[in-house]
């Protein structure tokens, strides 16, 4: 069963070893991540599904790292000795392949063939940052590393429904983390430049989640989305698909944009039937 869905940002600067003296500039996000992970821990999951926008993206569908043992490090950010590991849950992978067999989007399994590019099957920072905080909270969980695809939001939403069916058949409490930053254009000097649409996008997205207006979220103005320069919408769409049957109760834990990038931390609680 689905125990909790978290929305988490992934700036490496919120890792204490990396951020160091700048950690205080994102204090709301750091505290929010700790709070989210406490809530995840309290939901007593046995598996975790991490949805990332920075894993390997392929044309034929959302990609899954299917190797038994996954690992990655923050060498890209100057800290190669800081590493994260995660085990794949092969049963959940097999169930998802079955559930999606007749759907428009099917998972693409990476890491099964010897000629797979090793760099393309390692954990990316979109997965490692939330996993770091989960492991700091004592949660060393096996599960599923899932990358986005650039298919329509409707198809990604439906794919999320297939993931939920696989989780249900797996039969153990499972947490989901949708990893993604919001606009990268909140102020002059931001990583993707500045656009006044960045703040508008972030305000709309947070409001739509808070008000549970999923249809409106799936139909956000594409010009606004493009102007925002975001990377979190598609992971959130997949996660919302997992909640489509039960509905959810949202909690906005924190939001800030100290470096010109929007960081949203949120918990979505599946509504239990009966």
CATH number at residue 53: 3.40.830.10
Looking at residue 272, what is its pLDDT?
Answer: 72
Are 87 and 22 a contacting pair, CB within 8 Å? no
Looking at residue 11, what is its pLDDT?
Answer: 98
Looking at residue 235, what is its pLDDT?
Answer: 98
Are 51 and 145 a contacting pair, CB within 8 Å? no
Write down the pTM of the prediction. Answer: 0.96
Looking at residue 112, what is its pLDDT?
Answer: 62
Partners of residue 8 on adjacent β-strands? 179
For residues 251 and 254, give the distance between their C-alpha atoms in angstroms, rounded to a whole number. 9
Give the burial string for 244-271 (b: 16+ CB within 10 Å, else e). Answer: eeeebebbebbbbbbbbbbbbbbbbbbe
For residues 177 and 147, give the distance between their C-alpha atoms in angstroms, rounded to a whole number. 12
Helix (H) or strand (E) holding 58, with range, is none
Secondary structure tally for the chain: helices H, strands E: 9, 10
* Tokens linked to 208: 């739509």
Q: Which residues of the chain have pLDDT under 50?
A: 114-120, 273-274
Residue ranges making up the domain that contains 73: 2-270
Q: How many domains does the chain have?
A: 1
């Amino acid at each position: 069963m689905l125990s909790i869905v978290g929305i988490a940002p992934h700036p490496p600067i919120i890792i204490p070893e990396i951020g160091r003296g700048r950690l205080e500039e994102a204090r709301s996000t750091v505290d929010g991540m700790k709070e989210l992970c406490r809530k995840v821990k309290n939901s007593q999951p046995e598996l975790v599904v991490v949805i990332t926008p920075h894993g390997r993206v392929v044309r034929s569908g959302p990609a899954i790292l299917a190797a038994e043992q996954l690992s990655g490090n923050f060498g890209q950010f100057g800290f190669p000795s800081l590493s994260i590991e995660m085990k794949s849950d092969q049963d959940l992978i097999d169930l998802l392949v079955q559930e999606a067999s007749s759907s428009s989007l099917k998972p693409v399994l990476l890491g099964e063939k010897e000629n797979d590019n090793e760099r393309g099957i390692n954990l990316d920072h979109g997965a490692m940052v939330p996993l770091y905080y989960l492991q700091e909270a004592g949660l060393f969980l096996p599960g599923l590393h899932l990358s986005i695809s650039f298919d329509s939001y409707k198809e990604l939403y439906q794919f999320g429904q297939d993931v939920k069916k696989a989780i249900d058949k797996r039969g153990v409490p499972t947490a989901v983390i949708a990893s993604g930053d919001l606009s990268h254009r909140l102020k002059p000097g931001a990583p993707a430049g500045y656009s006044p649409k960045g703040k508008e996008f972030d305000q709309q997205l947070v409001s739509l989640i808070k008000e549970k207006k999923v249809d409106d979220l799936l139909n956000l103005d594409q010009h606004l989305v493009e102007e925002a320069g975001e990377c979190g919408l598609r992971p959130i769409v997949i996660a919302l698909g997992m909640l489509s049957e039960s509905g959810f109760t949202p909690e906005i834990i924190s939001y800030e944009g100290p470096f010109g990038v929007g960081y949203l931390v949120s918990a979505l609680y599946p509504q239990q039937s009966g």
